[in-house]
Structure 1
Amino acid sequence: MQKIDLAGTWQLQEAGKSGNINGELPGCNYLDLMQAGKIEDPFWGLNETASTKIAEKDFIYSMVFTIDEEMLTNDQVELVIGGLDTLASIKLNGSKIASCENAHRIYRLSVKPLLKKGENEILIYFSSPLPYIRAKNNENPLFAIGMADNAAHIRKPQCHFGWDWGPNLAPVGIHGSIAIEGYSKARLTNLSIEQKHNAGQVELEVCVDAEKYNDFSEALELIYTLIDPEGKKHTNTVPLVTEHTCFKIIVDEPKLWWCNGLGEQPLYDLAIDLVEVKNNKTPLDSWKRHIGLRTIRLDNGPDQWGRNFRFLVNEVPIFAKGGDWIPSDSFVTRTSREDLDFYIKSARDANMNMLRVWGGGYYESDTFYELCDEYGILVWQDFAFACAEYPLGDSTFLENVKLEVIDNVRRLRHHASLALWCGNNEIKMMSMSFKKPRRKSHDAFFFYQLKEWVSAEDSQTPYWSSSPSSSAPEIAANSLKDGDTHLWHVWHGLQPLESFRNYPTRFCSEFGVESLPNMLTIRSFTNAEKPTLFDPVMQLHQKSIGGNEKMLFYVLSKYRNPSTLESFIYLSQLIQSETVRMATEFWRRNSGRCNGAIYWQYNDCWPVASWAGIDYQKQFKAVQYRAKHFNKMVCVSAEMHKNEASVSVINDLPKEFSGSLVWRLVDFSGNIIYTQSQQVKIARNRADKVETIPFAQHLGAFKKQDAALILDLLDDEGKIISTQSNLLVADKEASLQKPNIKVAISADGETGSLNLQTDTYTRFAYVEIDGINTPLSDNFIDIEGGKTINLTFALPKGVNAADLQDNVHILSMADVDFSGTLLQDNLWRLKTRFTWHNMVYWFVFKFLI
């Protein structure tokens, strides 16, 4: 096989206008127009509003490339494009070769008759998606909820047209790859690998499809090489008897792949060479796959609470912990492998084991999946349908979708991290608003037709019809007894943050509250001297209706109104973090009945106020820091009540946990008021309540406002493996004093070390170091009075740790200054509750969902 990569510099022209600028493909028109200085950064200030109009225009990308004689001697030459976004007419040397209309496809276009030796020109005319959408909607109006510009007619990431966390910036371009490929005599067209696990052995059934050219009839063979994680090779030859050939590889003493927390992620390399027997076995084509040996199963069987929703890896049940993944950038090609590595590694470090790839974006890239394979992060992959009615009665649309499904299932099915194919995002839940015939057609498609297409290509990965959904179309979505749920009663429904305790779901695949991004990120879109929550720029960088008002609504439910934006950022992130923690711990304490907590959302695609745990500038919010504690495989969890604490130990390991629980009541100076310890033993994959602590009885002369409860969980060797600190009253009622914190910085090679010693109990200490924009080892931490804690961080090259001594800034709960009166706070909350859109949401989540 020969290949000419067409990635690189192209010429970009706005259709109907003269003059070209340099462009880059893969890439998009927005990035190229910015690079050429033709438009301002759409993310800055109020620029998005004007930048949206660019999507109304047509654009042309063109390139001149060279073909040599050798390429023209091939029997078959194809133009191969992945991620062609979206309405594209392609010409080669002046002749039209294709009209394409699916950004999720991989197109293979035969081009040999049009190519010539020497210079060739390719031209791609991208039509604006907006007139197409309007025309289709006039012909066949579809139900939608107001987001994505009613874009369901077009096979393009729906979030390009705006979402409640993303801008309305619909690019054209290529987000995959583009190349000329040449083949002689024969080539490989399909490779599937199925695993059968028996005791101490894995059988790989490998099936290969090949295509021959020009009636080629000479003998062909397949040479396969399997390399185990330690580098040991196993090679064999299989005759290609027909164009569909299957063979088996037996792996003895297999090294199993496990998701994060359960074990290692060993990967095997499988290479397949298609060779001509009589010609010195010269390879005609070669494919490679990295695979992990594992089984994945979704248990949806009946149980005492209804029907289960539980993943099992190698038949070991797991509690899924993680976040919902959206596109990493509004212009996704500027996301590098290093960027993706940061995100996936951060998920691993937060003790997550799953990311759900949301259906309004992309089928994620090969690089994304490779990194999830390496870091042990399971992937729940939605198909590209979200929050709308689709034209499922259109046979042309369905055929286009079927080819999209085949392309992506074949591309991704071999990945060890792939855990679930899911039909769509929230369509089953909102289909109650569809007309009855269309509701039935959507049920038929997502419960049966799409499942059939998927199963034909991948018989081993579980399929689920919709998120959320139940096990059958006649059962309502969002049931607490069957299937997964999206629980937006908190936030959209304005219910109290603790309300998640009223929803013992089988598996929650969306929940959360918004927070502001870090100030570094806010400064990436505004240079206002003092940005405010409700200024025009901040409001444009908030896409959820009434989102900033709701953030303040929830901040005021736990705290007072802060006097600075910096303090509001801090408090909003604490509200988000504590909400996700409380919900996750509640569901984990009910493990077996509840089997997953995937919070909305993991990341951002631009700088915005949102539900993300990592903002657009890769700054960790509080929830990302705290997640590594409340997601630990074995951890302690307290549910606080007025005068007592109910303490549970959670064990997600597939083996029994034995250790001890040590708890103590301390005053804010660090003195122990009362302490007690006990042995604990928790069966595998289980959570048990181990103690009720009547702390009010042990305080003596101390008031609850002046004390904290510290819980330490120790393993059988006496090592602390989990700690949780709790105030005995609400944060705003505690008698916290402004701390005096001593700071000491040192370095060990490329790692900086920060010691913090405080004189009084410090609640949620948030540490920033000027010049350090990468995450610290921990943050938003409680520090007992008189205690010292250590944090580490990556020290940039050329930076002396001692020079950072005066660059350390610490904000704690006691440092936050408030403005206004309690009456004003309460009136604000009342006003927010009774705005029209919040009343509608309240009604929907109170009575309909």
Structure 2
Amino acid sequence: MTARKDLTIEGGASWTVESSDRHPFAATVPGEVHTDLLAAGLIPDPFDGDNESKLAWIGSTDWVYRTTFDWVADGHAVQELVTDGLDTVATVTLNGTELGRTQNQHRGYRFDVTGLLVASGNELVVAFAAPVEAAKKFAETLGLWPHTNKHPYNAIRKMASNYGWDWGPDLATAGIWKPIGIESWSGVRIASVRPLASADGVLTTHVAFAWDGNAAASTTATSADAGDTTVTVEVSGTTTTTTVAVGTESVVLTNTVADVELWWPRGHGEQPLYDVTVAAGDDRWTGRVGFRDITMNVAPDKDGGPFVLSVNGKPIYVRGANWIPDDAFVTRLNRSTYETSIQDALDAGMNLLRVWGGGIYETDDFYDICDEQGVLVWQDFLFACAAYSEDEPLWSEVEAEAQQAVTRLSKHASLAVWNGNNENIWGYVEWGWRAPLAGRKWGEGYYFDLLPKIVAELDPRTPYSEGSPYSYDHFIHPNDDRNGTMHIWDVWNQVDYTTYRKYKPRFVSEFGFQGPPAWSTLTSVVHDVPLDPYGDQMLVHQKAYEGNLKLERGLGDHLPIWKSMDDWHWTTQLNQARAIIYGIEHFRSLFPLNTGAIIWQLNDNWPVVSWAAVDGHGIRKPLWFALKKVYADRLLSVQPTDDGLVVAAHNDSDEAWSTRLTLTRRATGAGGEVFARESIALEVEPRSATLATVPVSLISFDATTEYLEVRADDGATAYWYFVEDTQLQLSADAYTAEVTPTSDGYDVTVTATALAKDLALFPDRLDAAARVDSCLITLSAGETHTFRVTGASAPAEVGVPVLRSANDLLTGE
């Protein structure tokens, strides 16, 4: 049996960290130097105000972690120091003996310490080179390869966004960021297990071994040959056994589970998981698997080339989000934080998260929760927005990193796609890289050779994609909407969001629009007086190039320019939500040509103006509520076509959608006078879509004072406005609001006397702990809606800026 002495804080070890100009102070392992400095009171909060730039010195400083520990000999033949994650360029020394040097945050290392341990006072030292300077040094050695942002993150195998991104702070960390400990063992050790479960009930388990030098004498004899070892795999009442000779590197065992229950993504079935136990001699490994098959279809068709993910033979319409590291300091994350953030995805109707290539291979907690909740995981290999050298030592580091990542993650039922890179193929084709590269290799060898070979060998049941975006053909532009996956970034960067309708994408794996975080989140870190979009501290928390200009330009004719900071906040949040509604409703109206969308992005890693649906303090922005609507199983929207308006109905459920639509043309003003009304029977088969023509009688004759309301008998709604809001005549006094205390907060009931468009309640402006259950509610005259607030006491009344609508932006009241 492998025994482990944990050298983490939880394992009882006491660590310190120091630099050349700082005396030792207490450190937490796992942890990061920034969080250690913060805990020791030596630095201010890196997220607050303009502290980010003031703390840049941390990333340009060498740091030394050390601990001492006692060791009681346990009779085992081998002792190894196991480091699951060192960030990043480190020299590891035990009792004055250098064990090795590391230069990859994304892999673990083992160092043989047999014979080096003493009974008391063992000193373990991990010295980290300054991460910013290390990246520069590697870039000087390898040569400068094109990259985005300030630092040459592509020269070092470290989390790219740790060096700053257009939504994240430049806070390059150092530290022992994953568990570390001494493992002691004899005979045979299970080095790795890859249990791959398929929909036919077959579990194929690949077990790799390590042996000590005296294994023949120290392992339990289980056959006539002394030293042979019994290996067993148990799952769901089945046991498979084999015997391996000393020195055997690996073995494959197969179990067949009768009447297996299949694993499905949410919305398509249940998520049964089966416990697996692997034993080799006295060593044990345990894990869980879900039986499923996943395929990726990119074969050319009459419209170009699709991108279709199927689970157990059933095509899945993807409603997803891109996932970035959930905190700039990732060691502050735990199972509880992951559960909260993944619940944000689930509650918004999502069925896939894409782990983006500028972050990390996530913790086991992340994938375990996705397995349990039925959230598919698209996993990027960690290459993003840059060219990468294929020379040594980078090539070997990438190879070792990828092998470890695939081995660790391959068992997860939720793992749906391995993706070679983020935007690098697109970058090579279109971002002006070829001239500075001057014929040098740029990463193609990873995406088209090394990585697909590793996936084919270690995880053949999971599809591999060369990149995102990609058209799955060398002779087609990688970001072509007719083929494969597409990133739509001209919207936001250059053009109005109505441009979404110019595309007919087969699959959109990135697109997004910016908006600020919740007011309480923003003002907790931005202290400019007066508060202004261009204030010094505000700009620290707006990382996008010309971000504020793009927020203003993005209003187009949709909404008026703000007159106050309160209006800036509401207007830009509303415009963010509307842009994404516009895009997703269009994409879903194209079904089955379009097979999914992955919004950029679900989460933030600090308080910032960004594309996120949930801000850095965990508050759901209006965008999140917009996603909940447009990612519903059943969606109605009104779409313009060459032949007139249609109601697009997408039924992404296993039940037929049979209802009746009532279409009403009515006045925006007081009383909401009805000018025309029609009824249409709606029948949509499971997992299908239909278009219903809007009768001519419902087309407005006075576009500025009328709108189209679509209501289904089952509660689904859609609206169409014949002009932009800046031309629409809305009432200033279109609604009243009443506050009622409840046992855990309060209700705000809004009653409309005229069209009340996009009602939103922001209780965090009164109490940062308050949360609301709904947002972006449109009411016709005579309708009511109750916002339910939890986590705060009831105010006497609510009004602007706590209760907002499009009406008050357009009427100035």
TM-score above 0.5: yes
Match of 1:736 in 2: 730
> Could you tell me which amino acid in structure 1 is paired with residue 62 of structure 2?
D
Other structure's SS at 1:580 match: helix
| 1:274 CA displacement | 2.9
Q: Is the Cα contact below 8 Å between 1:619 and 1:774 reproduced in 2?
A: no
Match of 1:258 in 2: 264
Which segments of 5 or more consecutive residues in structure 1 lack a partner in the other structure?
228-233, 276-283, 820-849
1:236 and 2:239 are equivalent in the alignment = yes
Separation of aligned partners in 2, 1:16 and 1:741: 64
Separation of aligned partners in 2, 1:36 and 1:69: 35
1:77-156 → structure 2 map (5 Å cutoff): 77-156=79-158
Match of 2:367 in 1: 369
Q: Is the Cα contact below 8 Å between 1:383 and 1:421 reproduced in 2?
A: yes
Q: Is the Cα contact below 8 Å between 2:321 and 2:352 reproduced in 1?
A: yes
TM-score by length of 1: 0.88
Separation of aligned partners in 1, 2:60 and 2:150: 15
Match of 1:549 in 2: 549
Q: 2:807 aligns with which of 814, 838, 841?
A: 814
Other structure's SS at 2:155 match: coil
* Larger mean Cα displacement after TM superposition, 377-386 or 549-558: 549-558
Q: 2:691 aligns with which of 689, 692, 695?
A: 689
Which segments of 5 or more consecutive residues in structure 2 lack a partner in the other structure?
223-228
Match of 2:708 in 1: 709
Residues 713 and 269 of structure 1: is their aligned pair in 2 closer, same or farther, counting only changes over 3 Å? farther
Match of 2:58 in 1: 54
| 1:642 CA displacement | 12
> Could you tell me which amino acid in structure 1 is paired with residue 412 of structure 2?
H
Q: 1:339 aligns with which of 330, 337, 340?
A: 337
Other structure's SS at 1:206 match: strand
| 1:146 CA displacement | 3.7
Q: 2:397 aligns with which of 388, 396, 400?
A: 400
Separation of aligned partners in 2, 1:706 and 1:10: 71
Q: 2:72 aligns with which of 68, 73, 81?
A: 68
Q: Is the Cα contact below 8 Å between 2:162 and 2:172 reproduced in 1?
A: yes
* Larger mean Cα displacement after TM superposition, 350-359 or 773-782: 773-782
Other structure's SS at 2:164 match: coil
| 1:478 CA displacement | 0.4
TM-score by length of 2: 0.92
1:446-595 → structure 2 map (5 Å cutoff): 446-492=447-493, 494-595=494-595
Other structure's SS at 1:253 match: coil
* Larger mean Cα displacement after TM superposition, 633-642 or 121-130: 633-642
Residues 599 and 250 of structure 1: is their aligned pair in 2 closer, same or farther, counting only changes over 3 Å? same
1:789 and 2:793 are equivalent in the alignment = no
Match of 2:740 in 1: 745
Match of 2:379 in 1: 381
Separation of aligned partners in 2, 1:589 and 1:515: 25
Residues 109 and 653 of structure 1: is their aligned pair in 2 closer, same or farther, counting only changes over 3 Å? same
Other structure's SS at 2:551 match: helix
Residues 817 and 691 of structure 1: is their aligned pair in 2 closer, same or farther, counting only changes over 3 Å? closer
Q: Percent identity?
A: 29
Separation of aligned partners in 2, 1:642 and 1:671: 29
| 1:512 CA displacement | 1.4
> Could you tell me which amino acid in structure 1 is paired with residue 737 of structure 2?
K
> Could you tell me which amino acid in structure 2 is paired with residue 783 of structure 1?
L
Q: Superposition RMSD on alpha carbons, in Å?
A: 2.4
Q: 1:416 aligns with which of 413, 423, 426?
A: 413
| 1:159 CA displacement | 1.1
Separation of aligned partners in 2, 1:751 and 1:4: 48
Separation of aligned partners in 2, 1:578 and 1:321: 17
| 1:737 CA displacement | 1.6
Q: Deviations over 1:55-91 (max 9, x none)?
A: 1110111112232233xx2222222222210001111
Match of 2:754 in 1: 760
Other structure's SS at 2:199 match: strand
Other structure's SS at 2:342 match: helix
Match of 1:832 in 2: none
Match of 2:226 in 1: none
Other structure's SS at 2:444 match: helix
Match of 2:422 in 1: 425
Q: Is the Cα contact below 8 Å between 2:197 and 2:411 reproduced in 1?
A: no
| 1:644 CA displacement | 5.9
| 1:203 CA displacement | 1.5
Other structure's SS at 2:169 match: coil
Match of 2:651 in 1: 651
| 1:341 CA displacement | 1.0
Separation of aligned partners in 2, 1:95 and 1:153: 29
Match of 1:845 in 2: none
Match of 2:773 in 1: 777
1:645-684 → structure 2 map (5 Å cutoff): 645-654=645-654, 656-668=656-668, 669-684=671-686
Separation of aligned partners in 2, 1:519 and 1:272: 51
Q: Is the Cα contact below 8 Å between 1:348 and 1:376 reproduced in 2?
A: no
| 1:470 CA displacement | 2.1
Q: Deviations over 1:530-576 (max 9, x none)?
A: 31011111112111111011101112431111122222121112211
Q: Is the Cα contact below 8 Å between 1:319 and 1:588 reproduced in 2?
A: no
| 1:673 CA displacement | 3.7
Q: Is the Cα contact below 8 Å between 2:321 and 2:353 reproduced in 1?
A: yes
Q: Deviations over 1:683-709 (max 9, x none)?
A: 34322211224355577xxx4333332
> Could you tell me which amino acid in structure 1 is paired with residue 262 of structure 2?
L
Residues 695 and 108 of structure 1: is their aligned pair in 2 closer, same or farther, counting only changes over 3 Å? farther
Q: Deviations over 1:426-478 (max 9, x none)?
A: 11011132257757663333112221122111111111111112213343210
Q: Deviations over 1:288-322 (max 9, x none)?
A: 22222211111011111112111111111122112
Other structure's SS at 2:275 match: strand
Match of 1:843 in 2: none
Match of 1:840 in 2: none
| 1:147 CA displacement | 1.0
| 1:148 CA displacement | 4.7
Separation of aligned partners in 1, 2:710 and 2:503: 26
> Could you tell me which amino acid in structure 2 is paired with residue 239 of structure 1?
T
1:30 and 2:26 are equivalent in the alignment = no
Residues 805 and 178 of structure 1: is their aligned pair in 2 closer, same or farther, counting only changes over 3 Å? farther
* Larger mean Cα displacement after TM superposition, 363-372 or 216-225: 216-225
Separation of aligned partners in 1, 2:541 and 2:294: 40
| 1:671 CA displacement | 4.7
Match of 1:6 in 2: 7
